[in-house]
Amino acid sequence: MNIRDRYAPSPTGLQHIGGIRTALFNYLFARSQGGKFLLRLEDTDRSRFDESFVQNLYDTFNWLGIRWDEGPDNGGSFAPYIQSERTEFYKQYAGELLNKGAAYYCFCTSERIEKIRQEREAAHSGESGYDRHCRDIPPEEAARRKVAGENYTIRLKIPLGETTCFHDHLLGDIEWKNDDVNPDPVLLKSDGFPTYHLANVVDDHLMEISHVLRAQEWLSSTPLHVIMYKSFGWTPPEFCHLPMVMGQDGKKLSKRHGATSIDEFRRQGYLPEALLNYIALLGASYEEGRDIFTLSELEQRFSLDKLNKAPAIFDYKKLEWYNGQYIRMKSDAELAALCLPYAQSAGLFGGAGTEPTAQQRDIFTAAMPLIRERLSFLHEAPEKIAYLFSEPALAAAEEFIPKKLDRAAAITLLRLGRELAGPMAKMPDDEQAENFIKEQAEKNAVKLGDLMMPLRVAITGARVSPPLFGSLRILGAERSLQRIDRALQFLEQ
């Protein structure tokens, strides 16, 4: 069997977590089976279509590093891969269902359908959907009305009193009474464009899709699609309805839970590898006792048999942990390149957007080891190392004073720290600097923490900061001593 699956988004919004999870699982399944992964744009909802959403789709997947084997931008044997360019196919196959008696012309106006809805609502009726008013119009009469210029749609004739059965790889055998299926849904709209259902089934058949992996929210559409396959005389693809992605409150993931569009995650400084790794685990398992997987490893290990039936819970804290792990895997140069746009945007090198000088770039790269372990997101980098590029504001006097000591003691400690700062700024590594300051603390009978606190505040402007020894090395002896002198002058006043 040739494995072929697809991601078929409607470009009516930004790419979000749920859609990316669907795309990723289809991509991983195709790769794990040596198959083909397709992208198809289902853009028949022209009222909500926006070209910017198409661009967002391409930008998102380029950033994530996921590529399809066939699609609108790279072609393939079943082009075009954009539904608005395939309307003749849908008209042809809607006509085929008409000829088979499996579909019919409907001349009901939107006003009539709305009136029926309002009457049912007023009567507190449990009925919903179309009332099949045009279902039994004789074909000859329908043909005359069409020729006469009446507006029409084409509706599917759902077989009544029957049960539709299909197998889902995750959920097992499913039976659905046809009476509970959307009553005779529109296949071809009055503007000649297909509805989602017709275009989806026709395209999956013509593009030889072997497996449909989609979210469980689409499960109720599957009986209708199976009925359509049967009406055409086609074999349906295999179905696998993926577990839902929920927020911590047990409700479907949405904007109220925080960032769900991939653009928002990207702006906040998430790494694509971290996002893919975490999303791949939403409803699937790979290897016991292991959390970190490269995309290549996920491609090798993915299996439909390892999917979970239960909904997946999206945990922002867990994703933050993944992001931190991937940040720590980066080299200094790689991390600097990733953080640089955030630093420029924050105006770290001058005005907002200013390019760093060669010297500033060197300092920026040298600062990466100081903050790598402290970063959860890339956007945090500029604030953490701003003191290396400009004089930090003087902290309040009490910030310099260790616990149980007073200002006079802090001044004495900082004077000692000044004697040590110059030599430490020239030492090649933290270990040597730490051993040196420990020896001096013992020699002067002071606690190491008490000695380091006022020195840290003088150098960085805060009690909590990146490592002091590395900061001294990057600033150099001259700049470090200038800051200490400024702090001493402030405290002595």
pLDDT tens per residue across span 242-289: 999 998 888 888 766 766 789 999 999 999 999 999 999 999 999 988
Query: Given 242, 257, 280, which residue is the final one in a domain?
Result: 242
* 255 catalytically annotated: yes
Nearest to 253 by CA among 266, 263, 243: 243
DSSP per residue over 120-153, as a string? HHHTT----S---TTTT--HHHHHHHHHTT---E
- Does residue 235 share a domain with residue 105? yes
Written as one letter, the residue type at 79 is: A
DSSP result, 137-205? --HHHHHHHHHTT---EEEE-PPTT-EEEEEETTTEEEEEEGGGS-SS-EEE-TTSPBPHHHHHHHHHH
Angstrom CA distances, 85 to 90, 93, 451, 458, stand at 10, 15, 73, 66
- Same domain, residue pair 230 and 118: yes
pLDDT score recorded for residue 126: 84
Strand partners for 215: 242
Same domain, 234 and 145: yes
- 359 shares its domain with 476: no
pLDDT of amino acid 259 = 64
Task: Identify whether residues 381 and 410 lie together within a single domain.
Answer: no
Residue 218 resides in a domain: yes
CATH code for the domain in which residue 361 is found: 1.10.8.70
Report the relative pairing of strands 153-156 and 103-106 from DSSP bridges: antiparallel
Q: How confident is the model at residue 260, as a pLDDT?
A: 73
HSE, CB side, 13 Å, CA atoms: give it for residue 297. 13
pTM recorded for the entire structure = 0.92
Instruction: For 377, list phi and psi in degrees, rounded to 5.
Output: -140, 150
- Which residue, of 386, 408, 426, is where some domain finishes? 386
C-alpha 57/C-alpha 63 separation (Å) is 10
CA gap 490, 493 in Å, rounded: 5
Whether residue 420 is found in the same domain as residue 378? no
Confidence (pLDDT) at 272? 97
Q: How far is CA 219 from CA 45, 171, 186, 199, 247, in A?
A: 21, 10, 19, 17, 20
Residues 355 and 474 in one domain: no
Q: What is the CATH number of the domain that holds 187?
A: 3.40.50.620
Please state, in angstroms and rounded to a whole number, the distance separating the CA atoms of residues 9 and 20: 10
* Residue 305 domain-assigned (yes or no): no
Angle between helices 51-64 and 17-32 (to 10 degrees): 50
Q: Render 406-431 in DSSP notation, one character per residue.
A: -HHHHHHHHHHHHHHHHHHHT-SSHH
Domain end position, chosen among 189, 219, 242: 242
Domain count, the chain: 3
Residue 414 in any domain: the answer is: yes
CA 489 to chain centre: 51
Query: Distance (Å, rounded) from C-alpha 451 to C-alpha 456?
Result: 9
Residues 125, 237, single domain; the answer is yes
Contacts (Cβ under 8 Å, ≥6 apart) of 345: 352, 353, 382
CATH code at position 461:
1.10.10.350
Domain carrying residue 175: 86-242
Task: For residue 174, give the amino acid letter.
Answer: I
Positions in the chain short of pLDDT 70: 255-256, 258-259
Residues 141 and 178 in one domain: yes
Same domain for 108 and 235, yes or no, is yes
Which among 255, 306, 318, 426 is annotated as catalytic? 255
pLDDT of 375 reads 97
Q: How many CB atoms lie within 10 A of CB 280?
A: 22
